[in-house]
Amino acid sequence: MAKNTLSITDNRTGKTYEVAVTDDTIKALDLRPIKVNDADFGLLAYDPAFTNTASCRSAITFIDGDNGVLWYRGYPIEQLAEKSTFLEIAHLLLHGELPTQAECEQWIYEITHHTFLHENVKKLVEGFRYDAHPMGMLVSTLAALSTFYPEAKEVRDPEVRRKQIFRLIAKTPTLAAFAYRHSRGLPFIQPDNDLSYAGNFLNMLFRMSEPRYEPNPALEKALDVLFILHADHEQNCSANAMRSVGSSLADPYCSAAAAAAALYGPLHGGANEAVLRMLNEIGSLKNVPKFIEKVKTGEGTRLMGFGHRIYKNYDPRAKIIKQIADRVFEVSGRNPLLDIALELERIALQDDYFVKRKLYPNVDFYSGIIYQAMGFPVEMFPVLFAIGRMPGWLAQWQEMLLDAEQKIARPRQVYIGHARRDYVPLEKRGSAPQPERKTARAAT
Ligand code: ACO
């Protein structure tokens, strides 16, 4: 019978080592005994950007990028988007199971009763300049919540964790809405806890002089589904930031602020904004073939919203978003950019360049068009992403804290700087630049 091991021969010494293979992985620490002599630190795995390193064992989200598959706790995203609600999904991600009726009622009650912010947070938001980016405001105010709930640092206490989880899921939309209203110069709207999670968010964003805001059911449902689609995506850049900062036992507000900061980057949460800019630049259907040619020859930009590090097939979230678009446009009127997007997709999916490289629409290709039709300015796009992703960040954080194998995240490095040298007093340094002497050495 085949053994679940890997034999490694070190050609520097001629020695052979046998390393256990578990779940198709080897432990990087099993490489450490591979040394040329006793003084040697031992072999390290070098993996910039973690392209082939599993940093944890996780039971939350499964992705099969070759087949376009995404499951939360085993449930296909298509079923969840069609049948579930965002708060149910938050429970699923955090507790591993869909809630029973009684659990669901209690869960929703707890979240809707933590939506208000301390009045001082308002003052903090008012301190930002009128043109501050809402994502910068969200990152700052998430971190600031840590100062209002100092008990949150007791991260090993399950009851304390439970409370902060409610607060973070409940208060993130309020922080986001305050940031939006501030950038528009509009008064802040307090939460209406009789509305749904998405409905209340729309209320805090868009209510004007009406005594009671009535969210449009189609837009409320579309937003809820968009939150579901963004709720988790396993070990992406922001989830990794949440886990990494949380591993120092920082409180969840500071860890979530770090995760939101990671999301702010254009390579992560900012691509849908780039899609909108690209569609506007193309301007009309007749310009699509010329644009595709420019992408292929490398003269122009990439086709934004296409391609993914993990998905080498149609991103399942993009398929669902495309279906939501029609429902939103029935209310908002058709966004003319949709026709350009559809034509881009039609041509690209038949073109050898895109087919050969397995480039398909990703989640960002259609989401920006929908957000724009719903009345969101582009700067709010990553903020919407952050609201949806909060339960995923918290689930990843909690799983990390409960995992006995995890410790403070602390990667190794390959040192390529100078070998040891002695300090030279200023008067003896001369004027010529010092030569770079490099040596590669693993850090101990
Ligand atoms: N348009 C045109 N060509 C592309 C595109 C694109 N969108 N994406 C990849 N390619 C080409 C590359 O030029 C490369 O071609 P080559 O082999 O001839 O050099 C090949 O496909 C592989 O590309 P890589 O950059 O190596 O793929 P990687 O997995 O590193 O990149 C990424 C993934 C960053 C998402 C890339 O596809 C891209 O830049 N897409 C556009 C930006 C975008 O939509 N980002 C959102 C991702 S989803 C999210 O983060 C929520």
Provide the whole-model pTM: 0.92
Residue 48 phi/psi, 5-degree rounding, is -60, 140
Q: Single out the catalytic residue among 268, 339, 351, 403.
A: 268
CA–CA distance, 281 with 227 (Å, rounded to integer): 28
CA of 304 to the centre of ligand 1 (A): 8
How far apart are the CA of 25 and the centre of ligand 1, in A? Answer: 27
Place of tokens 């940093």: 55
Task: At 346, list the tokens.
Answer: 């039609």
Q: Look up 308 and say whether it is catalytic.
A: yes
Q: What is the pLDDT of residue 434?
A: 64
pLDDT at 442: 60
Confidence at residue 272, expressed as pLDDT on a 0 to 100 scale: 82
User: Which residues of the chain fall short of a pLDDT of 70?
Assistant: 433-444
Is the torsion defined by CA of 374, 376, 378, 382 positive or negative? negative
pLDDT at 265: 87
Give the per-residue pLDDT at 84.
Answer: 98
- Residue owning the nearest CA to atom 40 of ligand 1: 307
What's the confidence (pLDDT) of residue 38?
96
Q: What is the pLDDT of residue 26?
A: 98
- 34-to-42, 92, 337 alpha-carbon distances in Å: 5, 42, 57
The helix/strand/coil state of 132 is coil
Token pair in block for residue 302: 């990439």
What pLDDT is stored for residue 300 in this prediction?
76
Query: Measuring CA to CA, how many Å separate 26 from each of 20, 55, 249?
Result: 6, 12, 27
- Cα 249 to ligand 1 centroid, rounded to whole Å: 35
